C-alpha cells in the first residue's frame, strides 16, 4: 500500500472527524480499553474491559479491527478473527504482566506439576496462552476458578495479586506465578487511608491487580468494567478509585453527579496512576493506521501457535457463558 505522509492536524476535533469518516469508509471498527486517552475513548465504536473487548472482537462484522489498548488485547482480537486485519496503533504498547512471565521459565515451572490445570490471565503473551488450559480476565476469574476440576493442581499466572485474591475468596489452593503490574503495584494502602480521613463518606473501589493491603480495605474489588457498573448502581456520592485513571473518564460520563478521586502517586513517582503502555496510543497513530495500514502495526500470529492459543481463549468464553 502506498504510504501517505501525515499532515499536521492541530485540532483534536478535526482529527477525530477524519478518523470516524475513514473508519466508516473502510468498514473498520475501533475498540478501546478504558485506560486509553479520553480523546480516543470518545471516537471508539466500543469502550470496554478486556473481556468485553474480546467479545466485541468475536462478533464484529468489520473488515479491519483497530485495538486501542495493549498488544495482548490486539493478539486476542486476532486469535478470534484469523481472517481479519487487526492493528495496534503503537506496537510498543506492551504490558508489565506479559513481560513478567517469559515462556521458557514458565514451561519449566508448569512441568514440575503433574495433573495440572493452567489458568492464565489474559494479560499474557501468546506463547503463554498456548501452554494454558483456560484464559481468564479480572471479570470472570472468580467464576472460572470455581469451575476447575477439584482434583487438579491449579496453576495461576502471571498476576500474583489477582491469584492471591482468588485464592483468598474461593479457598481454592493454587500455585501462583509471581508476576505483577507496575501501575497497580504503586498504589499504597496508606495513601488510601489518608484519603479516607479527608473524605470519610467515600467508598474505596480497586482493581484486583492491586496488592492485598489495598484489596482488604476496599469496599468493592472488580475489573474496570465492573468498577464502572458499580459506581452507576451504588448509592454513594464519592469514590476513591484504585486503578488506572483512564477509567474515570467513563465514570464521569456515566455518573456525572458523583465525585471520583484517583489515588495520587507516591512521592517520587510521576504520573504512576497512568499505564505508560496504554498511553502510547494516540489519535494521530490511529489515523495513520486507517490511512496507511502499516505492515509493522498489523498483528500476525504463526498459525500453529494461534491454533494452540485459541483453544483456551475460546474455552474462557464458553465457560463464562455457562
Q: Cα–Cα distances in Å, from 221 out to 52, 133, 197, 218?
A: 18, 25, 20, 7
Q: Considering the rule CB under 6 A, would residue 71 count as an interface residue with ligand SF4? A: no
Report the first-to-last Cα separation within the chain, whole angstroms.
44
Q: Is 305 left (phi over 0), alpha (psi -120 to 50) or beta?
A: alpha
Residues forming contacts to ligand 13P in the complex (CB under 6 A) are 49-50, 123, 137-139, 181, 207, 209, 223-224
Which of 15, 52, 88, 97: binder of ligand SF4 (CB under 6 A)?
A: 97
Q: Cα–Cα distances in Å, from 88 out to 170, 250, 280?
A: 36, 22, 11
Q: How far is the CB of 60 from ligand 13P (least distance, A)?
A: 18
- Toward ligand 13P, which CB reaches closer, 185 or 293? 185
- Toward ligand 13P, which CB reaches closer, 49 or 90? 49
Cell numbers at 296, concatenated: 509493522
Q: Quick one: DSSP state of residue 159?
A: B
Q: Cα–Cα distances in Å, from 99 out to 30, 106, 163, 184, 282?
A: 26, 12, 17, 15, 23
Q: How far is the CB of 257 from ligand SF4 (least distance, A)?
A: 28
Q: Considering the rule CB under 6 A, would residue 202 count as an interface residue with ligand SF4? A: no
Q: Considering the rule CB under 6 A, would residue 289 count as an interface residue with ligand SF4? A: no
Binder of residue 96, out of ligand 13P, ligand SF4, none (CB less than 5 to 8 A by kind): ligand SF4
Q: How far is the CB of 183 from ligand 13P (least distance, A)?
A: 6
* Contact by Cβ (8 Å): 215, 185: no
Cell numbers at 150, concatenated: 477439584
Q: How far is the CB of 207 from ligand 13P (least distance, A)?
A: 6
Cell numbers at 251, concatenated: 465514570
**Residue owning grid cell 478521586:** 261
Binder of residue 50, out of ligand 13P, ligand SF4, none (CB less than 5 to 8 A by kind): ligand 13P
CB neighbourhood size of 195 (10 A): 18
Q: How far is the CB of 224 from ligand 13P (least distance, A)?
A: 4
Beta-strand relationship, 175-176 and 259-262: unpaired
The contact pattern for ligand SF4, residues 215-254, with x = CB under 6 A and - = no contact, is -----------------------------x----------
- Toward ligand SF4, which CB reaches closer, 62 or 73? 73
Which of 36, 96, 132, 273: binder of ligand SF4 (CB under 6 A)?
A: 96
Q: Considering the rule CB under 6 A, would residue 90 count as an interface residue with ligand SF4? A: no
Quick one: which of 242, 246, 279 has its CA closest to 92? 279
Chain residues binding ligand SF4 by CB under 6 A are 70, 95-97, 123, 181-183, 209, 244, 275, 277-278
Amino acid at each position: 500500500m502506498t504510504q501517505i505522509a501525515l499532515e499536521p492536524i492541530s485540532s483534536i476535533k478535526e482529527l477525530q472527524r477524519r478518523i470516524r469518516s475513514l473508519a466508516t469508509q473502510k468498514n473498520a471498527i475501533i475498540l478501546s480499553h478504558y485506560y486509553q486517552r479520553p480523546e480516543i475513548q470518545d471516537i471508539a465504536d466500543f469502550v470496554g474491559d478486556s473481556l468485553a473487548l474480546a467479545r466485541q472482537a468475536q462478533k464484529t462484522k468489520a473488515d479491519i479491527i483497530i485495538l486501542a489498548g495493549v498488544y495482548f488485547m490486539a493478539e486476542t482480537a486476532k486469535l478470534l478473527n484469523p481472517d481479519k486485519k487487526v492493528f495496534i496503533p503503537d506496537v510498543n504498547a506492551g504490558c508489565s504482566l506479559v513481560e513478567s512471565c517469559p515462556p521458557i521459565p514458565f514451561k519449566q515451572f508448569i512441568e514440575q506439576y503433574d495433573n495440572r490445570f493452567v489458568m492464565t490471565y489474559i494479560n499474557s503473551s501468546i506463547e503463554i496462552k498456548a501452554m494454558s488450559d483456560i484464559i481468564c480476565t479480572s471479570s470472570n476469574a472468580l467464576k472460572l476458578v470455581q469451575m476447575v476440576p477439584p482434583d487438579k493442581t491449579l496453576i495461576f499466572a502471571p498476576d500474583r495479586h489477582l491469584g492471591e485474591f482468588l485464592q483468598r475468596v474461593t479457598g481454592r489452593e493454587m500455585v501462583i506465578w509471581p508476576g505483577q503490574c507496575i501501575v497497580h503495584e504503586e498504589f499504597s494502602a496508606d495513601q488510601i487511608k489518608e484519603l479516607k480521613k479527608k473524605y470519610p463518606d467515600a467508598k474505596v473501589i480497586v482493581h484486583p491487580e492491586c496488592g492485598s493491603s489495598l484489596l482488604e480495605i476496599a469496599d468493592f474489588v472488580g475489573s474496570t468494567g465492573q468498577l464502572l457498573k458499580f459506581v452507576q448502581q451504588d448509592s454513594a456520592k464519592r469514590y476513591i478509585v484504585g486503578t488506572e485513571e483512564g477509567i474515570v473518564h467513563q465514570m464521569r460520563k456515566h455518573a456525572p453527579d458523583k465525585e471520583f478521586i484517583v489515588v495520587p502517586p507516591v512521592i517520587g513517582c510521576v504520573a504512576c496512576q497512568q499505564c505508560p503502555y496504554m498511553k502510547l496510543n494516540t489519535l494521530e497513530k490511529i489515523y495513520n493506521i486507517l490511512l496507511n495500514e502499516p505492515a509493522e502495526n498489523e498483528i500476525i500470529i504463526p498459525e500453529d501457535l494461534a491454533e494452540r492459543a485459541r483453544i483456551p481463549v475460546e474455552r474462557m468464553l464458553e465457560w463464562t457463558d455457562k
